[in-house]
């Protein structure tokens, strides 16, 4: 929680206050991803900590946490997909028309996450899960409802962005080598690390959902796997700021923001010259 809140706060400060000290052409998905990580750290992880200390989560905070968790998951993978797409397209994606499309896609990833996160709240499928350390979706009556919901949610919020990430990463690694080499000085050079971190950290969550799909009796995945899925998803929020800092220009801008001594100059400054005719 500390890594996620402090790290992502510093990342936002560097991106806003030190824009001229490093190259970041595709700032929109970076801002969206950072806001998602910050929100998860400040609300979801803090909610889990409070739930462990108090023995559970009460309504309506229980439903809010479940909704926000899905929104943050959806927005994170959507932001990474948009970043991969912009990096593949190149500088053209920063044009006005294309930029409006990217803004719409970024907002759509947040909205779809909120919509699919609201459905379990509306149908009262939410209850506290000690294994996940927060409120989660539980299925007790209908396998068909669970199947339809998970397939729809995964297809729209997870599978489609993952296809974009996979396709753009593959194209970037094959036919776009010269363009990617020219982007090495841009902050988007950390995109492969962001993709690898997301896949690594969220694999337990995806596996636990697939196990649920395969069980006709609606029994959830093992407790240890559900706990691991929560811990790993929380870890991703703290790893992303470290990944940004692996970029040299961004790291130097952050260090300059933290440790540069900004004392006012005491030297006289020439502001004007007046010419007198004799």
pLDDT of 271 above 70? no
CA pseudo-torsion sign 168, 169, 170, 176: positive
| SS3 per residue for 88-123 | HHCHHHHCHHHHHHHHHHHHHHHHHHHHHHHHHHHC
Contact in structure between 48 and 230 (CB atoms under 8 Å): yes
Rounded CA Rg of the chain? 23
Give the pLDDT confidence score for residue 179 in this predicted structure.
53
pLDDT of 112 above 90? yes
Token pair in block for residue 250 = 């961004």
pLDDT of 252 above 90? no
pTM over 0.75: yes
Give the pLDDT confidence score for residue 34 in this predicted structure.
93
Mean pLDDT score, 229-244: 92
Query: What are the pLDDT digits (tens) for 193-203?
Result: 999 999 999 99
Token pair in block for residue 184 = 């090495």
Query: What are the pLDDT digits (tens) for 23-72?
Result: 788 888 999 999 999 999 999 999 899 888 888 788 888 888 889 999 99
Query: Which domains does the chain possess?
Result: 25-251 (1.20.1070.10)
pLDDT of 183 above 70? no
pLDDT of 76 above 90? yes
Burial of 38 (0-12, 13-18, 19+ CB in 10 A): buried
Query: What are the pLDDT digits (tens) for 133-146?
Result: 888 888 767 788 88
Task: Please tell me which residue, 183 or 51, carries the higher pLDDT value.
Answer: 51
- Dihedral (Cα; 63, 221, 217, 141), 10-degree rounding: 0
Contact in structure between 69 and 133 (CB atoms under 8 Å): no
Give the pLDDT confidence score for residue 264 in this predicted structure.
45
Token pair in block for residue 77 = 């993978």
Report the SS3 class of residue 54: helix
Mean pLDDT score, 259-271: 57
Mean pLDDT score, 92-106: 79
**Which of 66, 70, 36, 35 minimizes the C-alpha distance to 51?**
66
Give the pLDDT confidence score for residue 182 in this predicted structure.
53
pLDDT of 184 above 80? no
Place of tokens 């800092």: 245
């Amino acid at each position: 929680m500390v890594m996620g809140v402090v790290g992502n706060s510093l990342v936002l400060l560097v991106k806003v206050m030190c824009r001229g000290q490093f190259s970041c052409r595709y700032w929109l998905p970076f801002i969206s991803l950072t806001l998602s990580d910050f929100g998860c750290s400040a609300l979801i992880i803090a909610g889990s900590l409070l739930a462990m200390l108090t023995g559970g989560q009460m309504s309506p905070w229980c439903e809010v946490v479940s909704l926000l968790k899905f929104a943050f998951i959806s927005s994170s993978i959507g932001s990474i997909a948009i970043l991969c797409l912009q990096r593949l397209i190149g500088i053209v994606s920063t044009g006005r028309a294309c930029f409006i499309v990217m803004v719409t896609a970024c907002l759509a990833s947040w909205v779809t996450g909120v919509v699919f996160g609201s459905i379990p709240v509306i149908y009262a499928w939410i209850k506290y899960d000690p294994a996940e350390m927060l409120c989660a979706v539980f299925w007790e009556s209908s396998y068909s409802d669970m199947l339809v919901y998970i397939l729809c949610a995964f297809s729209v919020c997870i599978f489609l962005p993952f296809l974009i990430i996979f396709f753009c990463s593959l194209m970037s690694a094959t036919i776009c080598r010269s363009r990617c080499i020219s982007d090495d000085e841009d902050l988007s050079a950390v995109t492969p690390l962001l993709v690898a971190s997301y896949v690594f950290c969220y694999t337990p969550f995806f596996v636990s959902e697939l196990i649920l799909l395969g069980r006709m009796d609606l029994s959830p995945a093992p407790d240890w796997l559900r706990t691991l899925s929560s811990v790993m998803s929380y870890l991703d929020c703290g790893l992303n700021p470290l990944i940004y800092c692996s970029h040299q220009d961004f790291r130097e801008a952050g260090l300059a923001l933290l440790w540069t001594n900004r004392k006012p100059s005491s030297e006289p400054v020439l502001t004007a010259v007046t010419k007198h005719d004799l």
